[in-house]
Amino acid sequence: MSTDFLEFCKKCEEPCCNGFFVLNKEEQKTLEQKGYGHYLNMEDGYCVIEGDPCPFYKDFQCVIHDVRPTICRIYPLYPSVDRDGKLALEVDEDCPAVKELGEEFFESAKKRALKFVNEELSLECYRKFWED
């Protein structure tokens, strides 16, 4: 996403890092190797970050920013499955940046993020999670 979003995000104090964070196997392995395994939990065969808000969100910052999971990298977008069963991205309308930066910005961000998730990382775990 553009620096506009990153700059907006740095100034925001909304508690965005809450919810359900599904990790793929690479992300799980990385966090375990970094000593964060005690924050992870297996739920219905999926590895998730345990805690709401996220235990890695301190003082409005991500303390694992360099190894943060894909779900965090693409926020305020989140994966879902469309009517055709394909991986799609939705926008979290609760994010203040969505109102500030506008629909056009996030439609463009969706295209870039889908390319990222489809080409750079295997998000099959998300597809399976959302289909279940």
The 3-class SS string of the chain reads CCHHHHHHHHHCCCCCCCCCCEECHHHHHHHHHCCCHHHEEEECCEEEECCCCCCCEECCEECCHHHCCHHHHCCCEEEEECCCCCEEEEECCCCHHHHHHHHHHHHHHHHHHHHHHHHCCCCHHHHHHHHC
pTM of the predicted structure, to 2 decimals: 0.74
- Does 132 map to a domain? no
For residues 27 and 103, which has the higher predicted lDDT (pLDDT)?
A: 27
Q: Which domain holds residue 74?
A: 3-127
pLDDT at position 123 over 80:
no
Of the pLDDT bands very low, low, confident and very high (cuts 50, 70, 90), residue 1 is very low
To the nearest whole percent, how much of the chain has pLDDT over 70? 83
- Does 100 map to a domain? yes
Digit-coded pLDDT (tens) for 69-108: 888 888 888 877 778 877 778 888 888 888 877 778 777 8
Count up the domains in the chain and report the number.
Answer: 1
- Does 60 map to a domain? yes
Of the pLDDT bands very low, low, confident and very high (cuts 50, 70, 90), residue 120 is very low
